[in-house]
């Protein structure tokens, strides 16, 4: 599962070589137009030397005095514009990221998770839905405070993110409940990943208070989707399997044996 903001692109810099190239082109152009001016408006040969020298001196000096600084100024303005556009793009990306991400756990928030699933439903929810709920989470808040509860949720989310694949979706859908959609996963793969998540959570080292250790466990429900399943049905079956795990003693994985239909 990939998280984080896109890296900013490299901004352009002022190129003095480019400014010198502009000067060179300006000088050559000045020479050309100076020569053409003598062709268009010929002067007496006796006075030619009197005009040719100053004309080419001016055609050489003026580009250095005008073209070079103007080129540098234009490039600096372009750099400022590029930096402003990059900052604006980064701000938009950060805003979009924050609007889709649960700040505490760095997983998708509920709306973003369901939105992505709705998009997948257009081509078929082929894969497996996992519902994950932290066991006895209320007791952590009651015994150690909400700050400790927040830390526990962040650790659980990190364990989930490290256990799924890059193409999978993981989100916090409410309180201490998380959900993962495993794209194109069959039951065997879904059970392997679900068990990997369960073990990773149970191995979290959580010390809500100095000298106090508290084990964290989670129950998991697994439901398979296909090209015909509706999102609501898939979530309902996964949730049904989650509660089956809770009723069977918690800290375990339960999968629907009847596909996505509860009978």
| Residues identified as active-site | 176
How far out from the chain centre does Cα 94 lie? 8
Residue appearing with tokens 């604006």: 88
Cβ neighbours of residue 15 under 8 Å, at least 6 residues apart? 75
Starting at the edge strand found earlier in the chain, the sheet holding 127-134 runs: 169-174, 177-183, 127-134, 218-225, 253-255
131's enclosing H/E stretch is strand 127-134
Q: Is the dihedral of CA 99, 103, 107, 113 positive or negative?
A: negative
d(CA 142, CA 197): 25
């Amino acid at each position: 599962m990939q998280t984080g903001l896109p890296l900013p692109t490299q901004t352009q810099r002022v190129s003095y070589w480019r400014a010198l190239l502009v000067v060179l082109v300006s000088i050559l152009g000045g020479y050309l137009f100076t020569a053409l001016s003598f062709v268009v408006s010929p002067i007496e040969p006796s006075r030619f030397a009197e005009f040719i020298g100053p004309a080419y001196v001016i055609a050489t000096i003026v580009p250095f005095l005008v073209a070079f600084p103007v080129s540098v100024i234009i490039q600096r303005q372009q750099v400022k514009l590029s930096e402003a556009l990059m900052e604006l793009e980064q701000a938009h990306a950060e805003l979009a990221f924050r609007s889709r991400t649960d700040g505490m756990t760095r997983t998708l928030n509920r709306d973003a998770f369901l939105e992505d699933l709705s998009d997948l439903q257009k081509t078929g929810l082929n894969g497996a839905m996992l519902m994950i709920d932290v066991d006895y989470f209320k007791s952590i808040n009651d015994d150690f405070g909400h700050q400790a509860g927040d830390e526990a949720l962040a650790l659980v989310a990190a364990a989930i993110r490290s256990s799924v694949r890059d193409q999978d979706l993981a989100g916090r859908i409410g309180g201490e409940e998380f959900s993962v959609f495993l794209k194109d996963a069959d039951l065997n793969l879904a059970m392997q990943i679900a068990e990997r998540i369960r073990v990773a959570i149970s191995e979290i080292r959580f010390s809500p208070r100095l000298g106090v250790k508290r084990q964290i466990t989670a129950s998991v429900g697994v439901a398979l989707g296909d090209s015909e399943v509706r999102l609501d049905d898939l979530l309902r079956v996964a949730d049904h399997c989650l509660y089956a795990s809770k009723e069977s003693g918690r800290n375990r994985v339960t999968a629907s044996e009847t596909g996505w239909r509860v009978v």
